Chain A
């Protein structure tokens, strides 16, 4: 090597590492295919429900084998025809039936929110997608033992950690936002309204989840399993408990943001006294603060760790 070297720049290396780590997420094609596959299945289910019985109550039945609610209302209407002799009764019955039909339209948004957004998306897809990509950022490198190429470069270790976080964040955000959009779009006009209301909470929740799972990926040798334990054991358990334990859960604050946005549509927690929601601003700051603190702590931790087992 006899040429005059140009000065290498760690900043340039850092930016390259972000791009490189971002492209590396594609190497596990299985991951991307499975994520898309799950989205297709979930979206297909939503489309199926939207196109058949819809999210309102009209096409529902009280129990299997019984007529739909719309059929019941029609039967009642037929049973009480307008009658000059009992105008008050006819008017009353007609008014009740109209009220039920109109209010059904406002029932769609809460139903869609409860089942599609909260149960399927926030309760399952969002944490699982985020977990899968965020724990792989460093976790997969450790598992495949190619981490040595990172630790022997002239880059601060904390910068390596941060670069991987910035590399995986677009993947998580993209997948979650596209997933939410697809699910909501499949739910019809109410779904589109749901996306407009919930996308911001999804962004904040994704950032916090990504920071947490990325941190877990740096600490544990099997980060995906630990993250799974957190998501589907602790979050499920804490979310259903009364008291303030649930405030340790990231999805709690995500839901708080969503409930705050959906309040004007009459969508609230089933048991507000148990849920004890916090305000929109509080939830926002907590989620961002969680992401910042976890990332900063992760950088410090990673800079000091040796990863003997991976050598």
Chain B
């Protein structure tokens, strides 16, 4: 039997070194920003509320973004698009204030710092992609030479340089998304707001886009990405803001949010030869709230206080010499967290 080693690294993390144990998927995101900065935040929502007639779209939202990638998730009608439109200065809040680098987002000068990739699929269809991006560059106020240079750079970054001379009406959905992204980044904004940027893009293109987002984030830009592709978002960032019914239900890393949900137990799958024996021992732990055996080699454990549970579990396994074949948290994903927060399966 392959020897399993469990290594405690401080009190924060538990590493289990074994080729037989499936570790949770590694995230590709850069470390979340932790520096203390006196400059105004890139994007700041201060008690912002927005009504559409009698319906409230955004309800007393306070949110501060400085750099890195922040995912914005929520069910349909949660207020994500309204939030993004407030951030890009297309809507004005009825209460509160939205500011970009301290400047009111409605003010035209704030838009110099904002690049917006909208979810709507409208272009000047008779133009080529290059001409469209160039037009957007000229509308930002660049002279012809600078606009050309920036256009080529932006097209290069989004991988459209060799295909940009075709008319937009002949583009596929993915190409249209890339052109939208190109016009959003050409003026080197500090805040890039992306509304469903992965919608309609094939898996290969999606990976390219994710790498591009990572690259932009590594250039100290702040990205706010609204998406329903939760699996992709998880690969991109740990930092999410979850919206529900116009409010920010939770904001922070997925882990932090998960830990905050003390009333919702973690579900962990454990594969081993003697699940019943392990289960008998685990039931005595005060952190364990439920056990299930879907098969004779699998044990599903529902536990509160994941950190404490894993400590207890590790000790138990070492003492009783259980051969763990598989250890996998089943609901540490954004789907699951979303489901807990919003109710339902978490599918959006």
User: A residues near B, CB below 8 A?
Assistant: 1, 3, 5-6, 8-13, 16-17, 20, 24, 27, 144-146, 148-157, 306-308, 311
Contact = CB atoms under 8 A, between A and B. Distances in A.
A1 B118 contact: no
A27 to B, nearest CB: 6
Nearest to A307: B90
A151 to B, nearest CB: 6
Nearest to A146: B122
A190 to B, nearest CB: 44
A1 B111 contact: no
Contact of B90 (A3, A11, A152): A152
B52 A308 contact: yes
B139 interface: yes
Contacts of B141: 8-13, 154-155
Interface string B113-131: 0101010101110100000
B180 to A, nearest CB: 10
Contacts of B91: 306, 308, 311
Interface stretch (B59-67, B146-154, B254-262, B316-324): B146-154
29 contacts: A1-B150, A1-B154, A1-B188, A5-B146, A6-B142, A8-B112, A8-B141, A8-B146, A8-B187, A9-B141, A10-B108, A12-B142, A12-B143, A13-B139, A13-B141, A17-B139, A20-B138, A24-B124, A27-B124, A145-B122, A146-B122, A148-B90, A149-B139, A149-B183, A152-B88, A152-B111, A154-B108, A156-B108, A307-B90
B136 interface: yes
Given A13-B139, A154-B109, A155-B108, 13 more contacts: A1-B153, A5-B146, A8-B141, A8-B187, A9-B141, A9-B143, A11-B141, A12-B141, A146-B124, A154-B111, A155-B111, A306-B90, A308-B91
A13 B111 CA distance: 13
A309 B298 CA distance: 54
Nearest to A11: B141
Q: How large, as a class, is the contact surface on chain B?
A: 35 or more
Contacts of B88: 152
Contact of A20 (B52, B108, B139): B139
Contacts of B150: 1
A3 B149 contact: yes
A16 B108 contact: no
B215 to A, nearest CB: 11
Interface in B133-182: 135-136, 138-143, 146, 149-150, 153-154
Contact of B122 (A3, A12, A17, A148): A148
B116 A152 contact: yes
Contacts of A24: 124
Given A13-B141, A154-B111, A157-B108, A148 B118 contact: yes
Contacts of B116: 152
